[in-house]
Amino acid sequence: MTMTSTFAPKITQKHLLSLKDYSTEEILDLLSLAAELKKPENKYTPLLQNKVLGMIFEKSSTRTRVSFEAGMLQLGGHAMYLSTRDIQMGRGETIADTARVLSGYLDGIMIRTFEQATVQELADNSSIPVINGLTDDFHPCQVLADLLTIQEQFGSLQGKKMAYIGDGNNMANSLMIGAAKVGMDITVAAPAAYAPKPEMVALAKEFAKETGSNIHITADPVEAVTGADVIYTDVWASMGQEQEALERLERFKNFQVNEELVQHANPNYIFMHCLPAHREEEVTTGVLEGAHSVVFQEAENRLHAQKALLVALLNN
């Protein structure tokens, strides 16, 4: 099937390892395509007919697996689940060898793993597109869905203020980069020992110079939320940090997004969470289920944003 210009974003990238590699125009182009593919009449547009996506999982998943698999099906292609417990990469075959073998079978690879270096090595040795479905450093697919959701809610991204409350993890890193790329201001509020790595903050600030956005780090949740259009949080202990859960509960207890904290935001603020949520820990049920919450719209948008990404990369 030949794509019309409506379904052909101008993307120069071969892979998606992090949004740091994408220009503002490329990100906005992907969001525009995602909005088109979200329209009911375009749900089953076969833009990837007979294409096959391999999905490597070292970390378990709900949203990533289901949204990529459903997205490929709706686009006329097929997605293949590859657990590292089942493939030879999990038994000692090198990442480079795996990349070269899979390049002969598939049209693209999505991988959800721990080390960013794993994704990078896979891409370096692959002749087909590689998509970062999550690493300990970045979660770019989630941020594409987040930006799509914010754009739907406010009509634009430029100049909007986001407050991220909690752990300076892969979500904080990716949100800082994504916000900087599209001209949003973002303040990350985290305990000092859990703030984003200085090199990640410096990277986001470099991108912010091009768009005029502001990147700010604080240990004060009220300061972060004051005047915010978007309040965002994530779990306090991510996969692989379960042994730290009790300690983190104590360290983060003053960083809960609750009914008192959100009073400092703009009256029409939206609440976002990448899910899964630990209710009554990082967020109260009242906020998560409240009138300002868009978390399930945000979760659905993983499907639409990733469909746009798949079309852009697998047809590039």
Residue 174 and residue 183: Cα distance in Å, rounded? 14
Whether 124 has a binding-site annotation, put simply, is no
Tell me, yes or no, if 142 is annotated catalytic.
yes
pLDDT tens per residue across all 316 residues of the chain: 345 567 877 889 999 999 999 999 999 999 999 999 999 999 999 999 999 999 999 998 999 999 999 999 999 999 999 998 888 886 889 999 999 999 999 999 999 999 999 999 999 999 999 999 999 999 999 999 999 999 999 999 999 999 999 999 999 999 999 999 999 999 999 999 999 999 999 999 999 999 999 999 999 999 999 999 999 999 998 766 677 888 999 999 999 999 999 999 999 999 999 999 999 999 999 999 999 999 999 999 999 999 999 999 999 8
What pLDDT score was predicted for residue 239? 65
- pTM of this structure: 0.96
By CB neighbour count within 10 A (0-12 exposed, 13-18 middle, 19+ buried), where does 287 fall?
buried
What pLDDT score was predicted for residue 77? 98
Residue 79 neighbours by CB distance under 10 Å: 22
C-alpha dihedral sign at 149, 152, 158, 162: negative
What pLDDT score was predicted for residue 174? 98
Tell me, yes or no, if 292 is annotated catalytic.
no
Phi-psi category of 155—alpha, beta or left, where left has phi over 0 and alpha has psi -120 to 50? left
What pLDDT score was predicted for residue 4? 58
Q: Which residues are CB-neighbours of 202 under 8 A, at least 6 positions away? A: none
By CB neighbour count within 10 A (0-12 exposed, 13-18 middle, 19+ buried), where does 178 fall?
buried
Tell me, yes or no, if 216 is annotated catalytic.
no
Whether 67 has a binding-site annotation, put simply, is no
Tell me, yes or no, if 158 is annotated catalytic.
no
| Nearest CA-CA partner of 110 in 70, 57, 55 | 55
- Helix/strand/coil for 78: strand
By CB neighbour count within 10 A (0-12 exposed, 13-18 middle, 19+ buried), where does 87 fall?
middle
User: In which element (H, E) is residue 151 found?
Assistant: helix 140-154
What pLDDT score was predicted for residue 264? 98
| Nearest CA-CA partner of 61 in 278, 196, 239 | 239
Active site residue: 112, 248, 273, 304, which one? Answer: 112
Whether 241 has a binding-site annotation, put simply, is no
Tell me, yes or no, if 137 is annotated catalytic.
no
What pLDDT score was predicted for residue 3? 53
Q: Which residues are CB-neighbours of 224 under 8 A, at least 6 positions away? A: 163, 164, 165, 187, 188, 189, 216, 218
Tell me, yes or no, if 274 is annotated catalytic.
yes
Whether 112 has a binding-site annotation, put simply, is yes
